[in-house]
Amino acid sequence: MRYFDSKIDNDDFSLRWSNRTDLFGMLNIEQKSFENPWTENTFLQCLRQTNFVAKVAYRVKKPEKVFGFMIYELRKEKINLINFVVDPNFRRKGMGSMMISQLLNKLSKDRKKEINFNIRETNLEGQLFLKARGFNATRDISRGYYADTGEDAYHMVYKIGDRDISNRISNYF
């Protein structure tokens, strides 16, 4: 699959479902990325849920190494993005956009219509990234949502619109 706005050579990087052997790589990226990273146990609890999906970004020539990952929950009418990270050494190369593009392709006017994500109030980089990918902050702020720091969670949402439908149709021409 081609991603219009990606700076990555898409014949080189791709996305696949995660498997048990990816856990170490995911943990490693998580620990390099966050002051309060998820533990192995948190990953395992998430991955055991039947409606949770974990996808990893990998290099086609070396598929076992993980460069980024996303974990999301599939609900009937929406997708809740739970965790989303790119290896710090491979950021600003379009890998995050590649993952989000794949998620946006799961939306449709008559089924899943939106993607939700709770983000730390201090995570400006993440907010800017999501904004650049078409997400908007809502007025819905969860005060003191993060028990570790007491930070608020901003609620960002992507809602499918006519633009998405016409973009997808234009893919076929």
Ligand X SMILES: CC(C)(COP(=O)(O)OP(=O)(O)OC[C@H]1O[C@@H](n2cnc3c(N)ncnc32)[C@H](O)[C@@H]1OP(=O)(O)O)[C@@H](O)C(=O)NCCC(=O)NCCS
CB 79 to ligand X: min, Å: 14
**Shorter beta-carbon distance to ligand X: residue 96 or 160:** 96
Pick the closer one to ligand X by CB: 38 or 160. 38
Of 29 and 160, which has the nearer Cβ to ligand X? 29
Q: How far is the CB of 167 from ligand X (least distance, A)?
A: 17
Report the 10 Å Cβ neighbour count for 101. 18
| Rounded least distance, CB 56 to ligand X, Å | 13
CB 130 within 8 A of CB 35: no
**Neighbouring-strand partners of residue 83:** 71
Of 27, 40, 15, 7, residue with least CA distance to 105: 15
**Token pair for residue 115?**
């993607």
Query: Six-digit token pair at 91?
Result: 């950021």
- Residue numbers of the site for ligand X (CB under 6 A)? 33, 84-86, 91-97, 119, 123, 125-126, 128-130, 132
Q: Which is nearer to ligand X, 10 or 109 (CB)?
A: 10
Q: Minimum distance from CB of 35 to ligand X (Å)?
A: 11
**DSSP character for 69?**
E
